[in-house]
Amino acid sequence: MKVTRLSSLLTVLVAGLALVLVPANAGAAPHDGGSQPTYSYANAIRETAWVDTGLKDPSGKAVRVAADIIRPSELSSGVPVIMDASPYYSCCGRGNESQVKEYDSAGNTTLFPLYYDNYFVPRGYAVVLVDLAGTNRSNGCVDIGGPSDVTSAKAVIDWLNGRATAYTTSTGSTTKKASWTSGNVGMIGKSYDGTIANGVAATGVAGLKTIVPISAISSWYDYYRANGADLTAGQPSGLASTVENSAAQSGCGSVQSATDAGSPTNGNYTAWWNQRNYYAQAANVHASVFIAHGVEDTNVKPINFGQWWDALAAHGVERKIWLSQTSHVDPFDYRRAAWVDTLHQWFDHYLMGVDNGVQNGPQLSVERTPDNWVDAASYPETSTATSLNLSATTTNGLGKLGSTAPTAGAVESFTDTPSQSETNWETNPDSASSARVVFSSGTLASPVTVSGTSTITVTASSSASSGQVSAVLVDLGPETVRNFDGQEEGITTLTTRTCFGSGNSIDTGCFLDTKADTTNVNAEVIARGWADLGHYASLNSKATLTPGKSYTMTFKLAPTDHQLAAGHRLALIVGGTDNGYITAGSAKPKITLDLTKTSIQVPLVGSLP
């Protein structure tokens, strides 16, 4: 359960004056050779620059975005910038306590959400929080990851580097310079915010030295669709309506119409989606990238970090990744002290030029079991893409997963049952069900790790003119895991607070502590993938299926780094509509798999029996 800003403020007031002045190094272990908390938070300069984006709103008015700035007063030049560009600074809030920006009567920002200002300003950084066009105090329109959104942040980087114009007010003509900055910018943010960081990096803008996308989107198609299937995330225009300010809601109808036209619910990949595909533009990325994502993220599906990571790797981008067992949770709320210290070193290196070696450390840090983290030199780990066959047994609906080739003519069938989900499918995996088929390996004699992205090729026929297929990899065996499907997606928020940086009575720098929320399971889904068979030939158009005719389609499952314990089994479950993840079609067909032409490639460290 998220804590409201009001209850958070009451807790602070009750705590009294002890929270007003906080030691600047509280909460995280210091590291040698980096920036130190030597600058005054109390005397920091707070100001707003209204940056001209070069865009026009539908009425022809120039779009200016509000960039709220806090920076050390002692430094007049050479200050690096940590930037979070977001649509959520008034409508929804940031962080576990849903903080929004707060202002005094003169319009000066008194509360900068999250801990970035409290921790980093005393260490010689400026923190810049940007309202995306059409949100909070910025004019213009929201276009869901398109040119308006991305340019909102890119223009601020251009201004910080002397290439764009800003003003002292939203409509005035007095210009404002950024003579105090070095021009080095690092973007950070969770979800939509991290998505914008990805999008801006994909423009190749000069001055952006690093990005830290947390639970972020790399392709908006893969947030709303999956290989032609319609995910249960709603429609892009609905999200726009949620985050827009009142002026945008009344004046951006043409943008909303273009959004609806460009994102059809039939699952087709359009030019509108392609414009919002950042991983396809990875060749432009010059910034380093530090990714954090939950392998069980049910909001921004892990496919988004996987394809972004692979594209960055192909172009030699310096990168690092943290993978947690949580769903859509910030690492500040599941590994707080280690996260802040690592982030500190990361920004010191890429924005201040500190030679601390952070870029040479392990590329991967992964949570194997709750609060048990291990490092690996690279991600994916050194694995072998192992092709696994699906073979039938004497029991319909229960097959084998492994090296055994299926017999000629072998098939398995199931009936699309939209009321069931993967949770239903994995229950009693050794019992047959008409709603899914299970293919399981033998019992593991030693641990095996799935590290990377699995790919499945399905050859199937439908009894109707349409059909959907879901494929999930499952670890079968008893385990204690984070309760990613729980109310707080793998964490529990406590009533105590820890302070990270300096603060005052309004912006304390003290945040509610958390702990792992765990649950005991006998089966755990470790990778998911969905597809609409009507898109077997192309994502650009949906075909009408001929009932009884087989079609072949290849698609990816979510990336992961998951270790199966000795005594467990690996299973592949194939079903129809995965309730809660994809929306059901009008038909509820019988789907028949041709096992001789269906297989899955899994990146394994170790081997199956």
Question: Is 505 inside any structural domain?
Answer: no
CA distance 427 to 421: 10
pLDDT for the residue 24: 35
Computed over every residue of the chain, the mean pLDDT equals 94
pLDDT single digits (tens) 310-351: 999 999 999 999 999 999 999 999 999 999 999 999 999 999
pLDDT for the residue 480: 98
Question: Is 584 inside any structural domain?
Answer: yes
Q: Are residues 164 and 294 in the same domain?
A: yes
The active-site residue, picked from 191, 219, 327, 550, is 191
Side-chain-side CA neighbours of 338 within 13 Å: the count stands at: 14
Q: Are residues 46 and 70 in the same domain?
A: yes
Q: Hey, is 11 helix, strand or coil?
A: helix
Residue 362: which CATH number? 3.40.50.1820
Determine the distance from the C-alpha atom of residue 576 to the mean position of all C-alpha atoms in its chain, rounded to a whole number: 26
The active-site residue, picked from 57, 297, 507, 517, is 297
Q: Hey, is 598 helix, strand or coil?
A: coil
Last residue of a domain, one of 353, 376, 399: 376
Q: Are residues 64 and 200 in the same domain?
A: yes
Structure token pair of residue 95:
């962080």
Question: Is 249 inside any structural domain?
Answer: yes
pLDDT confidence tier of residue 214, bands split at 50, 70 and 90? very high
Question: Helix 236-243 and helix 253-262: axis angle, to 10°?
Answer: 150
CA distance 164 to 548: 60
The mean pLDDT of 282-300, rounded to a whole number, is 98
Structure token pair of residue 271:
């030019």
CA distance 468 to 408: 25
- What is the helix (H) or strand (E) element at residue 462, kind and residue range? strand 455-462
Q: Are residues 345 and 388 in the same domain?
A: no
| Alpha helices for 431-576 (secondary structure H) | none
For residue 120, which of 34, 19, 208 has the smallest C-alpha distance?
34
CA distance 315 to 206: 17
Assess whether 191 carries a catalytic annotation.
Answer: yes
pLDDT for the residue 18: 31
Q: Are residues 135 and 269 in the same domain?
A: yes
Question: Is 299 inside any structural domain?
Answer: yes
Q: Are residues 281 and 317 in the same domain?
A: yes
| Alpha helices for 431-508 (secondary structure H) | none
Residue 388: which CATH number? 2.60.120.260
Question: Is 108 inside any structural domain?
Answer: yes
Question: Is 511 inside any structural domain?
Answer: no
If one counts the domains in the chain, the total is: 2
Last residue of a domain, one of 323, 357, 376: 376
Residue with tokens 């995910």: 231
pLDDT for the residue 10: 30
Type of residue numbered 558: A
Question: Is 21 inside any structural domain?
Answer: yes
- What are the φ/ψ torsions at residue 231 (nearest 5 degrees)? -75, 165
* Percentage with pLDDT > 70 across the chain: 95
Assess whether 328 carries a catalytic annotation.
Answer: yes
Q: Are residues 456 and 355 in the same domain?
A: no
The mean pLDDT of 284-308, rounded to a whole number, is 98
Tell me if 54 sits within 8 A of 159, measured CB to CB.
no
Tell me if 535 sits within 8 A of 543, measured CB to CB.
yes
Neighbour tally for 174: CB within 10 Å: 7
Q: Domain span at residue 427?
A: 384-497+520-605
Q: Are residues 441 and 547 in the same domain?
A: yes
pLDDT single digits (tens) 3-31: 333 333 333 322 332 333 333 333 444 44
Q: Are residues 414 and 555 in the same domain?
A: yes
Q: What are the residues whose beta carbons fall under 8 Å from the beta carbon of 154, sequence distance 6 or more?
A: 200, 203, 205
CA distance 558 to 355: 35
Assess whether 31 carries a catalytic annotation.
Answer: no
pLDDT for the residue 32: 54
pLDDT single digits (tens) 101-143: 999 999 999 999 999 999 999 999 999 999 999 999 999 999 9
Q: Are residues 426 and 574 in the same domain?
A: yes
Side-chain-side CA neighbours of 418 within 13 Å: the count stands at: 11
Last residue of a domain, one of 321, 351, 376: 376
Q: Are residues 586 and 536 in the same domain?
A: yes
Q: Are residues 146 and 277 in the same domain?
A: yes
Largest CA distance in the chain: 80
pLDDT single digits (tens) 64-89: 999 999 999 999 999 999 999 999 99
The mean pLDDT of 32-61, rounded to a whole number, is 95
Question: Is 294 inside any structural domain?
Answer: yes
Q: Model pTM?
A: 0.94
The active-site residue, picked from 328, 344, 349, 535, is 328
pLDDT for the residue 4: 33
pLDDT single digits (tens) 405-455: 999 999 999 999 999 999 999 999 999 999 999 999 999 999 999 999 999
pLDDT for the residue 7: 33
